Structure 1
């Protein structure tokens, strides 16, 4: 679980105060999230930034296959970095992309995509802004 510390003062533009946040693996918990075949570790950034950003570790749930459902996210920023294992995504106008350990992808706002398959040991770091956003399920990419 992430530990947050006292907020820093609001900046000159009046943005909400942010906090230092520390997340230790030894204290980590993984919860169910957006996808039923993954579990998510919240790193505390959403709380520390008053919802401006969210950073979490996503890992494959043992024995669960991806659904392959096309979708899009209504957000401002989404970035994925593979920590271990591999994952295959399909993107509109790009096609199928395989990401392995050390690979990353920036997914533009509103890009149609789907997760095709992943390794059993998949772990990814994902950064999104804002922390809360809408996901629309689609019929096709």
Structure 2
């Protein structure tokens, strides 16, 4: 039984839309549809002209991976402190880890892969 479909996504055809965070734009790579909701993959970039703010939160996930393509971003992670990621850096965010974004460059661009696709985000008082 097949539970996934072949999918190709080209940058030349890319469209970015506002998503979970209003100060980011998201490019869907078609993985959610191809895996029938098992996995979501998208490219995230800073949205020009928007103010940044980040409430501490956690995601209800099984797996979350972020790879920085351009620029930089800083997160504060529960039990880890401030972590600065630059182009070429990656992070595996364990399920339920509390975190918040501290800041990012205007040109930040990152790949994020999350399981499941329809994960929930819960805001919390502190990291």
Relative to the length of structure 2, the TM-score reads 0.97
Distance in structure 1 (CA, Å) of the matches to 2:6 and 2:26 = 21
Distance in structure 2 (CA, Å) of the matches to 1:35 and 1:101 = 21
Where does residue 74 of structure 1 map in the other structure? 60
Distance in structure 2 (CA, Å) of the matches to 1:99 and 1:66 = 17
Distance in structure 1 (CA, Å) of the matches to 2:24 and 2:59 = 17
Runs of 4 or more off by more than 6 Å in structure 1? none
1:27 is displaced (CA, Å) by 0.7
Q: Secondary structure at the match of 1:97?
A: strand
Provide the aligned length of Structure 1 versus Structure 2. 127
For the aligned residue pairs, the C-alpha RMSD in angstroms reads 0.8
Larger Rg: 1
Q: Could you tell me which runs of 5 or more consecutive residues in structure 1 were left unpaired when the two chains were aligned.
A: 1-8, 11-16
Distance in structure 2 (CA, Å) of the matches to 1:65 and 1:81 = 23
CA deviation profile, 1:91-127 (whole Å, cap 9, x unmatched): 0100000000000000000000001100000000000
Distance in structure 1 (CA, Å) of the matches to 2:51 and 2:85 = 17
